[in-house]
Amino acid sequence: MNTIFESFINTEAIALLIRLLIAHLAGDFIFQKKSWIIHRTAHRWRSGYLYANAGIVAGLSWLLSGYFFIWYLPLLIFVVHFIIDLAKSYAPDSPLVFSSDQALHLAATFLTTWLYLNSATGDVCCSWFFNSLPLWTYFAAYLLVMWPMGIIIALLTRKWQAESETGDGLKDAGRYIGMLERVMILTFIFMGQFSAIGFLVAAKSILRFGDIQDNKNRKGAEYILLGTMISFTAAIFTGLLAQWIINNFA
């Protein structure tokens, strides 16, 4: 059997890893509703949503793996995902717990990818599609900046949220604005238009400059600018990482 390092130095392996990461991100951040998490935290192993979420991730992993004849690894994904989320339901809601939970899921995804590579006896189905590294890398990058990154930023800035809230503003407008900003930044990076990113940062800063000078709105404006800078930085690094993967392995 190949070592883990040897298994991850080719296009097929990296494409498979990214597809399984997409399955996890989609299952945890798109198809899982907030009400599911609340119910799971309250009822733990008795919550049907705990099984539903693990089943969605396992099903997506099977569909995106391309190795449709291997049924036992999606089953393993179901069991591991269930155990990790069950353990999380007993822990307090904090950035550390969230980070640890995602780190465990990431480690499990790496392990599952390695098992797939060493269990498959033939090529992946429709290799022209499943092994298209640029396609899956771009898809994963946009998926990451649109959903999980917003949750991560909210956790990082949570301690300032209550202090900065004024009660006005459109519901969820900030979340969608941040999502659009990160999508724009990612697109600029993929197009090689780095100067456009500087223009976007300057425009956002100018729009909030008046609020910063107003002592009544200073905390709220600083909170928004802090979230914006974290959002911009995360999107830029995501874009650069995606480009590096494509340039070196595609």
Question: How far is the C-alpha of 238 from the C-alpha of 234, rounded, in Å?
Answer: 6
Average pLDDT for 99-106: 94
∠ CA 126-116-247, nearest 5°, is 65
Average pLDDT for 3-24: 83
Distances in whole angstroms, Cα of residue 84 to Cα of each of 18, 51, 58, 135, 148: 20, 12, 14, 29, 18
Question: How far is the C-alpha of 43 from the C-alpha of 205, rounded, in Å?
Answer: 44
Question: How far is the C-alpha of 89 from the C-alpha of 51, rounded, in Å?
Answer: 13
168 three-state secondary structure:
coil
The pLDDT value recorded for residue 1 is 46
The DSSP H or E segment spanning 117 is helix 95-119
At residue 158 the predicted structure's pLDDT band, cuts being 50, 70 and 90, is: confident
Question: How far is the C-alpha of 239 from the C-alpha of 235, rounded, in Å?
Answer: 6
Average pLDDT for 47-63: 96
- Whether this prediction's pTM lies above 0.85 is answered by yes
Q: What is the largest CA-CA distance in the chain?
A: 66
The pLDDT value recorded for residue 244 is 94
Inform me whether the pLDDT recorded for 117 exceeds 50: yes
Question: How far is the C-alpha of 52 from the C-alpha of 176, rounded, in Å?
Answer: 27
pLDDT tens digits along 66-76: 998 888 999 99
Mean pLDDT of the chain: 86
Inform me whether the pLDDT recorded for 80 exceeds 80: yes
